[in-house]
Structure 1
Amino acid sequence: MAFIATCAANPGTPLAPSPVVDVGWHSAVLHTRLYRELCTRLGGFVDHYPEPPKDPSGFRSDVIEFTLDTMRATGYEPDLELWAGPVESTITVAAQTWHSPACGPIQPMPTPQCLSEPDVKPRPA
Protein backbone atom coordinates (compact mmCIF):
# COMPACT_ATOMS: atom_id res chain seq x y z
CA MET A 1 0.00 0.00 0.00
CA ALA A 2 2.90 2.36 0.72
CA PHE A 3 4.16 1.85 -2.83
CA ILE A 4 0.74 2.72 -4.29
CA ALA A 5 0.51 5.77 -2.03
CA THR A 6 3.99 6.86 -3.11
CA CYS A 7 3.02 6.55 -6.78
CA ALA A 8 -0.10 8.63 -6.18
CA ALA A 9 1.89 11.30 -4.29
CA ASN A 10 4.60 11.51 -6.96
CA PRO A 11 2.87 11.55 -10.37
CA GLY A 12 5.24 11.32 -13.30
CA THR A 13 8.11 9.95 -11.18
CA PRO A 14 9.59 6.73 -12.64
CA LEU A 15 8.86 4.28 -9.81
CA ALA A 16 8.76 0.49 -9.93
CA PRO A 17 7.75 -2.28 -7.50
CA SER A 18 9.85 -5.30 -6.59
CA PRO A 19 8.48 -8.66 -7.76
CA VAL A 20 6.98 -9.30 -4.30
CA VAL A 21 5.43 -5.84 -4.04
CA ASP A 22 4.02 -6.28 -7.55
CA VAL A 23 2.19 -9.45 -6.43
CA GLY A 24 0.69 -7.45 -3.56
CA TRP A 25 -0.30 -4.72 -5.98
CA HIS A 26 -2.04 -7.33 -8.18
CA SER A 27 -4.01 -8.45 -5.13
CA ALA A 28 -5.13 -4.88 -4.45
CA VAL A 29 -6.07 -4.23 -8.08
CA LEU A 30 -8.25 -7.36 -8.17
CA HIS A 31 -10.40 -5.88 -5.40
CA THR A 32 -11.56 -3.18 -7.79
CA ARG A 33 -13.96 -1.32 -5.51
CA LEU A 34 -11.50 -1.19 -2.62
CA TYR A 35 -8.65 -0.22 -4.98
CA ARG A 36 -10.70 2.56 -6.58
CA GLU A 37 -11.63 3.89 -3.13
CA LEU A 38 -8.00 3.73 -1.99
CA CYS A 39 -6.80 5.61 -5.06
CA THR A 40 -9.54 8.20 -4.63
CA ARG A 41 -8.41 8.84 -1.05
CA LEU A 42 -4.80 9.07 -2.25
CA GLY A 43 -5.70 11.69 -4.83
CA GLY A 44 -5.23 9.81 -8.10
CA PHE A 45 -5.82 6.45 -9.71
CA VAL A 46 -2.56 4.51 -10.07
CA ASP A 47 -2.72 2.38 -13.19
CA HIS A 48 -0.90 -0.93 -13.37
CA TYR A 49 1.02 -1.75 -16.55
CA PRO A 50 1.85 -5.48 -16.57
CA GLU A 51 4.95 -6.70 -18.33
CA PRO A 52 5.85 -10.23 -19.45
CA PRO A 53 8.11 -12.40 -17.26
CA LYS A 54 11.76 -11.41 -17.45
CA ASP A 55 15.13 -12.94 -16.84
CA PRO A 56 16.30 -12.12 -13.28
CA SER A 57 19.44 -10.51 -14.73
CA GLY A 58 17.25 -7.70 -16.08
CA PHE A 59 16.19 -6.58 -12.60
CA ARG A 60 17.08 -2.90 -12.14
CA SER A 61 18.30 -2.45 -8.57
CA ASP A 62 18.99 1.23 -9.30
CA VAL A 63 15.30 1.76 -10.10
CA ILE A 64 14.30 -0.04 -6.90
CA GLU A 65 16.74 2.06 -4.84
CA PHE A 66 15.27 5.22 -6.39
CA THR A 67 11.77 3.96 -5.57
CA LEU A 68 12.76 3.21 -1.96
CA ASP A 69 14.33 6.67 -1.59
CA THR A 70 11.15 8.24 -2.99
CA MET A 71 9.02 6.21 -0.57
CA ARG A 72 11.11 7.44 2.35
CA ALA A 73 10.91 11.04 1.13
CA THR A 74 7.12 10.63 0.92
CA GLY A 75 6.99 9.48 4.54
CA TYR A 76 7.00 5.68 4.29
CA GLU A 77 9.62 3.27 5.62
CA PRO A 78 9.77 0.32 3.23
CA ASP A 79 9.88 -3.24 4.52
CA LEU A 80 13.16 -4.23 2.87
CA GLU A 81 12.29 -7.94 2.94
CA LEU A 82 9.59 -7.14 0.37
CA TRP A 83 12.00 -5.18 -1.82
CA ALA A 84 14.72 -7.77 -2.46
CA GLY A 85 15.61 -8.60 -6.04
CA PRO A 86 14.41 -11.79 -7.74
CA VAL A 87 17.65 -13.65 -6.96
CA GLU A 88 18.09 -12.72 -3.29
CA SER A 89 14.43 -12.71 -2.22
CA THR A 90 13.34 -15.35 0.29
CA ILE A 91 9.70 -14.81 -0.71
CA THR A 92 8.52 -16.93 -3.63
CA VAL A 93 6.34 -15.32 -6.30
CA ALA A 94 4.54 -17.03 -9.17
CA ALA A 95 6.30 -15.20 -12.00
CA GLN A 96 9.46 -13.14 -12.29
CA THR A 97 7.86 -9.92 -13.44
CA TRP A 98 8.66 -6.35 -12.56
CA HIS A 99 8.20 -2.94 -13.99
CA SER A 100 10.67 -0.31 -14.97
CA PRO A 101 10.57 3.24 -16.24
CA ALA A 102 11.25 1.78 -19.72
CA CYS A 103 7.49 1.15 -19.92
CA GLY A 104 6.86 4.73 -18.80
CA PRO A 105 6.40 6.09 -15.31
CA ILE A 106 3.82 4.49 -13.07
CA GLN A 107 1.54 7.35 -12.22
CA PRO A 108 -1.99 8.45 -11.37
CA MET A 109 -4.17 8.56 -14.44
CA PRO A 110 -7.43 10.35 -15.24
CA THR A 111 -10.69 8.44 -15.16
CA PRO A 112 -10.56 5.84 -17.96
CA GLN A 113 -12.74 6.42 -20.98
CA CYS A 114 -14.50 3.69 -22.94
CA LEU A 115 -12.35 3.17 -26.04
CA SER A 116 -15.11 1.45 -28.00
CA GLU A 117 -17.49 4.35 -27.37
CA PRO A 118 -15.34 7.49 -26.92
CA ASP A 119 -18.38 9.80 -26.61
CA VAL A 120 -19.81 7.85 -23.65
CA LYS A 121 -18.84 9.41 -20.34
CA PRO A 122 -18.10 7.09 -17.39
CA ARG A 123 -20.74 6.89 -14.69
CA PRO A 124 -19.84 8.52 -11.35
CA ALA A 125 -18.57 6.05 -8.73
Structure 2
Amino acid sequence: MTTAVASETRTGRSLVTDTEFDTLAAFCADEYGLERCVAERVVDQALALVFVMGSTGEGAAMAPSELVDPGWHTLILHTSWYADWCERNFGYFLHHQPNSKVRTRGLMVDVVDKIKSAGFEVDERLWGTAAECNAPACCGDGPCC
Protein backbone atom coordinates (compact mmCIF):
# COMPACT_ATOMS: atom_id res chain seq x y z
CA MET A 1 0.00 0.00 0.00
CA THR A 2 1.28 3.48 -0.91
CA THR A 3 0.71 6.36 1.45
CA ALA A 4 0.47 9.81 -0.04
CA VAL A 5 2.50 12.46 1.76
CA ALA A 6 1.13 15.97 1.59
CA SER A 7 3.78 18.40 0.46
CA GLU A 8 4.13 21.49 2.58
CA THR A 9 3.89 24.87 0.96
CA ARG A 10 6.20 27.70 1.80
CA THR A 11 5.65 31.41 2.06
CA GLY A 12 7.34 34.30 0.36
CA ARG A 13 8.14 35.53 3.84
CA SER A 14 10.32 32.45 4.39
CA LEU A 15 12.73 33.73 1.71
CA VAL A 16 14.01 36.57 3.91
CA THR A 17 14.96 37.10 7.53
CA ASP A 18 12.38 38.33 10.01
CA THR A 19 14.20 41.67 10.22
CA GLU A 20 14.19 42.06 6.43
CA PHE A 21 10.51 41.16 6.24
CA ASP A 22 9.60 43.62 8.99
CA THR A 23 11.54 46.40 7.23
CA LEU A 24 9.87 45.67 3.88
CA ALA A 25 6.36 45.34 5.33
CA ALA A 26 6.70 48.56 7.35
CA PHE A 27 7.90 50.44 4.27
CA CYS A 28 5.09 49.01 2.12
CA ALA A 29 2.47 49.97 4.70
CA ASP A 30 3.82 53.49 5.07
CA GLU A 31 4.61 54.17 1.41
CA TYR A 32 1.34 52.82 0.00
CA GLY A 33 -1.02 53.66 2.85
CA LEU A 34 -1.84 50.04 3.66
CA GLU A 35 -2.72 48.55 7.00
CA ARG A 36 0.32 46.71 8.30
CA CYS A 37 -1.41 43.31 8.14
CA VAL A 38 -2.34 43.91 4.50
CA ALA A 39 1.19 45.12 3.68
CA GLU A 40 2.58 41.90 5.15
CA ARG A 41 0.35 39.84 2.84
CA VAL A 42 1.34 41.98 -0.15
CA VAL A 43 5.09 41.69 0.54
CA ASP A 44 4.76 37.94 1.14
CA GLN A 45 3.12 37.47 -2.27
CA ALA A 46 5.60 39.81 -4.00
CA LEU A 47 8.53 37.82 -2.63
CA ALA A 48 7.02 34.56 -3.88
CA LEU A 49 6.29 36.10 -7.30
CA VAL A 50 9.74 37.58 -7.76
CA PHE A 51 11.39 34.36 -6.58
CA VAL A 52 9.44 32.36 -9.17
CA MET A 53 10.17 34.94 -11.87
CA GLY A 54 13.88 34.90 -11.14
CA SER A 55 14.37 31.20 -10.53
CA THR A 56 12.42 30.06 -13.60
CA GLY A 57 13.52 32.73 -16.04
CA GLU A 58 9.86 33.30 -16.91
CA GLY A 59 9.70 36.83 -15.58
CA ALA A 60 8.80 38.34 -18.95
CA ALA A 61 5.63 36.21 -19.08
CA MET A 62 4.54 37.07 -15.54
CA ALA A 63 3.08 40.16 -13.92
CA PRO A 64 1.92 41.08 -10.44
CA SER A 65 -1.70 41.82 -9.74
CA GLU A 66 -2.60 45.42 -9.03
CA LEU A 67 -2.70 44.61 -5.31
CA VAL A 68 0.68 42.78 -5.29
CA ASP A 69 2.50 45.39 -7.42
CA PRO A 70 3.26 47.69 -4.43
CA GLY A 71 5.07 44.75 -2.85
CA TRP A 72 7.39 44.36 -5.82
CA HIS A 73 7.98 48.11 -5.87
CA THR A 74 8.85 47.86 -2.18
CA LEU A 75 11.50 45.26 -2.96
CA ILE A 76 13.11 47.17 -5.81
CA LEU A 77 13.09 50.46 -3.91
CA HIS A 78 15.47 48.81 -1.44
CA THR A 79 17.97 48.65 -4.28
CA SER A 80 21.12 47.48 -2.52
CA TRP A 81 19.27 44.81 -0.54
CA TYR A 82 17.27 43.74 -3.63
CA ALA A 83 20.39 43.43 -5.78
CA ASP A 84 22.09 41.26 -3.15
CA TRP A 85 18.94 39.15 -2.67
CA CYS A 86 18.64 38.55 -6.42
CA GLU A 87 22.30 37.59 -6.71
CA ARG A 88 22.02 35.11 -3.81
CA ASN A 89 18.82 33.54 -5.12
CA PHE A 90 19.22 33.64 -8.92
CA GLY A 91 22.80 34.59 -9.66
CA TYR A 92 21.66 37.69 -11.52
CA PHE A 93 19.75 40.94 -11.01
CA LEU A 94 16.09 40.57 -11.95
CA HIS A 95 15.11 43.87 -13.51
CA HIS A 96 11.67 45.36 -13.16
CA GLN A 97 10.44 45.72 -16.71
CA PRO A 98 7.04 47.38 -16.73
CA ASN A 99 5.02 46.57 -19.78
CA SER A 100 1.61 47.40 -21.11
CA LYS A 101 0.03 44.05 -20.28
CA VAL A 102 -3.51 44.24 -19.13
CA ARG A 103 -3.92 42.37 -15.87
CA THR A 104 -6.55 39.93 -17.03
CA ARG A 105 -8.06 37.26 -14.84
CA GLY A 106 -6.50 34.67 -17.19
CA LEU A 107 -3.01 36.11 -16.75
CA MET A 108 -3.44 36.28 -12.98
CA VAL A 109 -4.65 32.65 -12.87
CA ASP A 110 -1.58 31.63 -14.90
CA VAL A 111 0.76 33.51 -12.57
CA VAL A 112 -0.96 32.06 -9.49
CA ASP A 113 -0.63 28.56 -10.96
CA LYS A 114 3.12 29.10 -11.50
CA ILE A 115 3.58 30.32 -7.93
CA LYS A 116 1.62 27.36 -6.57
CA SER A 117 3.61 24.95 -8.77
CA ALA A 118 6.79 26.32 -7.19
CA GLY A 119 5.41 25.30 -3.79
CA PHE A 120 4.31 28.67 -2.44
CA GLU A 121 1.12 29.55 -0.60
CA VAL A 122 -1.03 31.94 -2.62
CA ASP A 123 -3.38 34.55 -1.20
CA GLU A 124 -5.88 34.39 -4.07
CA ARG A 125 -7.73 37.47 -2.84
CA LEU A 126 -4.69 39.59 -3.66
CA TRP A 127 -4.57 38.18 -7.18
CA GLY A 128 -8.23 38.69 -8.07
CA THR A 129 -8.64 34.96 -8.55
CA ALA A 130 -10.74 34.18 -5.48
CA ALA A 131 -14.36 33.54 -6.37
CA GLU A 132 -15.59 35.85 -3.62
CA CYS A 133 -13.18 38.70 -4.36
CA ASN A 134 -14.75 42.14 -4.47
CA ALA A 135 -11.88 44.48 -5.25
CA PRO A 136 -10.60 47.13 -4.73
CA ALA A 137 -10.54 47.39 -0.93
CA CYS A 138 -8.78 44.16 0.04
CA CYS A 139 -11.56 42.25 -1.69
CA GLY A 140 -14.15 44.12 0.35
CA ASP A 141 -13.96 41.73 3.27
CA GLY A 142 -12.96 44.32 5.85
CA PRO A 143 -9.71 45.13 7.60
CA CYS A 144 -6.93 42.60 7.23
CA CYS A 145 -9.06 40.31 5.10
Shorter chain as denominator, the TM-score bin is 0.5 to 0.7
Question: Secondary structure of 2:51's match?
Answer: helix
Task: Flag the structure with higher helix content.
Answer: 2
2:106 aligned with 1:59, yes or no?
no
- Partners in 1 of 2:93 and 2:105 — Cα distance? 26
Inter-partner Cα distance in structure 1 for 2:105 and 2:67: 14
Residues of 1 paired with 2:94 and 2:136: CA distance?
25
Q: CA deviation at 1:2?
A: 0.5
Q: Percent identical across equivalent pairs?
A: 29
**2:76 corresponds to which residue?**
29
Give the unaligned 5+ runs of structure 2. Answer: 1-46, 140-145
Give the CA deviation at 1:84. 2.0
Q: Is 36-45 or 63-72 further displaced after alignment?
A: 36-45
User: 1-side partners of 2:58 and 2:50: how far apart?
Assistant: 13
Deviations 1:1-38 (A, max 9, x none): 00110101211351111011111101110100111111
Distance in 2 of aligned mates of 1:89 and 1:47: 27
Q: Structure 1 CA distance, aligned partners of 2:66 and 2:80?
A: 24
Note the C-alpha offset of 1:51: 4.5
Give unpaired runs (5+ residues) of structure 1: 93-125
Is 1:9–1:74's contact at 8 Å kept on the other side of the alignment? no
Aligned partner letter, 2:69: D
> In angstroms, what is the RMSD of aligned CA positions?
2.6
CA distance 1:12–1:2, change in 2 (3 Å): closer
Larger relative contact order, structure 1 or 2 (CA cutoff 8 Å, min sep 6): 1
Moved over 6 A (4+): none
